[in-house]
Amino acid sequence: MITRTPQPPYYAVIFTSKLTENDQGYKEMAKAMEIEVAKESGFIGFESARDTIGITISYWQDLASIEAWKNNANHLRAKDLGKKQWYEHYKVRIAKVEKEYSS
Amino acid sequence: MITRTPQPPYYAVIFTSKLTENDQGYKEMAKAMEIEVAKESGFIGFESARDTIGITISYWQDLASIEAWKNNANHLRAKDLGKKQWYEHYKVRIAKVEKEYSS
């Protein structure tokens, strides 16, 4: 789904990843994190697609909300598992959305 | 591929789209645009994935380069075709990347 985001400015966390061949348990964790993140204050929504690589972008009202999610205990556990087992490599970028247009 | 981006700040153009069922010619256009965009001054690289929706993120050194690409004649033609034929809907977001970390 394409997220209905508010009038900019707001923030985007761009998470790009390449999975290892051992992706056992990955989908379940990803689904659990989708439910968990939706409870966070300041969370707007997310967009996700995967083929050769995966891209997940979550949208946030401010940097403080991103910081709180970064330190969420369940999220920290998921990230630990991800680094050990699922991700061959990944990149996280924090960006301020300045303009938006659509059709 | 995950793009090797420089030390922030730099810019990201986040293009999220949902295709119509008539995607004839779409892949060829997308490929042509990948070749065309790589010639642009200030272009750093792009990341792309598609399943239910498509997400393409291009990275740029500055806003002026993004503006020049926005007005590139071949790109304008591709966008016209896209709006008429390939995209059920889409969203473009211009964002300034402030932080990056990876593994």
**Interface pTM, i.e. ipTM:** 0.94
Nearest to B9 by CA among B102, B75, B98: B98
CB contact under 8 A, A96 and B93: no
Average pLDDT over every residue of A75-98 = 95
Q: Which residue is associated with the tokens 């997310």?
A: A46
**What value, to the nearest 5°, has the Cα angle with vertex B2 and ends A101 and B7?**
80
* A10, pLDDT greater than 90: yes
**Band of the pLDDT at A1, cuts 50, 70, 90?**
confident
Mean pLDDT of chain B: 95
Distance CA A23, CA A73 (A): 22
User: Tell me, what's the pLDDT at A81?
Assistant: 93
* A2, pLDDT greater than 90: yes
Average pLDDT over every residue of B69-83 = 95
Could you give the C-alpha distances from A31 to A13, A83, B82, in angstroms and in order? Answer: 18, 17, 32
* Category of A2 on φ-ψ map: left (φ > 0), alpha (ψ -120 to 50) or beta: beta
Contacts of residue A53 in chain B, CB cutoff 8 Å? 1-2, 47, 49
CA distance B43 to chain A (A): 17
Q: Contact at 8 Å (CB) between A47 and A2?
A: yes
Distance CA B84, CA B80 (A): 6
* B69, pLDDT greater than 90: yes
CA distance A14 to chain B (A): 9
Could you give the C-alpha distances from B62 to A19, A46, B43, B70, in angstroms and in order? Answer: 31, 25, 9, 13
CA distance B87 to chain A (A): 9
Global pTM reads 0.95
